Amino acid sequence: MKIQDLLRKDVMLLDLQATEKTAAIEEMIHSLVEHGYVTDFETFKEGILAREALTSTGLGDGIAMPHSKNAAVKEATVLFAKSNKGVDYESLDGQPTDLFFMIAAPEGANDTHLAALAELSQYLMKDGFADKLRQVTSADQVIELFDQASEKTEEPVQAPANGSDDFIVAVTACTTGIAHTYMAQEALQKVAAEMGVGIKVETNGASGVGNQLTAEDIRKAKAVIIAADKAVEMDRFDGKPLVNRPVADGIRKTEELINLALSGNAEVYHAANGAQASTASNEKQSVGGAF
């Protein structure tokens, strides 16, 4: 399954009328309900707003990804909406938002659906892709853009754990695990490659742990970056310099995190039990806590 399979043309809104956050959310949900992908407006809205209350899904650069894994969702769907006026969406950079991907995932979403949703972050991180979306005038053009981009998609550059001083490891996680987790992963991999830094990024998403860090990865890493809004396994990083920030910083302040991790000024993490845990150990809460 590809993200194009979840981008339903019938629900797309290419001229979103709302200019305020709640109104924009309601306009998008109405389209999902009207076309039968969401069965209950209020239940789904409650889920979307609960996620927004944790931290805005307005990622900056004009992009927002409101999302909910919700009992009111009949069929996994991604609604694309474009605003010609801009919406005051309380985005992380404080600027108006004009591109929206509202993700509606059923409570029983399978790994295939979740993997397709994770793909969305790869497209949005591509240079110039968002600007092309701003130019579309039809739903067919939206799908065509994704089709063209998928043909050019390459595996992200990820240096192996080779013992270099410039090799780091990272963990990304968000509360729902269907958007920010993978956006942060993509951002860290992309910026690290641009900086000539080797990195391996573990994701703690809705479908479980992906690209899991091994004990050898951690041993060889100069430092650790945690970009997470929920509990992740921490004991394994005992004795390593560690930078712990919200997942949004993994997306918006990527270079800052990498520089801090490599600076030698990151605080050394000490596990409560004073011993490293295996990757199969019970999950421990990250330093920053879970939202």
Q: Give me 22's structure tokens.
A: 């709640």
Backbone angles phi, psi at 52, to 5 degrees: -65, -30
Q: Give me 13's structure tokens.
A: 């809104």
Active-site residue, from 30, 67, 180, 270: 67
C-alpha 213/C-alpha 75 separation (Å) is: 33
Annotation marks residue 35 as catalytic: no
Active-site residue, from 35, 113, 174, 270: 174
Instruction: Identify the three-state secondary structure at position 280.
Output: coil
Query: Taking Cα atoms as reference points, which of 77, 200, 74 lies closest to residue 66?
Result: 77
Question: What is the DSSP code (8-state) at residue 238?
Answer: T
Annotation marks residue 174 as catalytic: yes
CB-based burial of residue 153 (10 Å sphere; 0-12 exposed, 13-18 middle, 19+ buried)?
exposed
DSSP 119-188: HHHHHHTSTTHHHHHHT--SHHHHHHHHHHHHHH--PPP-------TTEEEEEEE-SSSSSHHHHHHHHH
Backbone angles phi, psi at 123, to 5 degrees: -65, -45
Catalytic residues: 67, 174
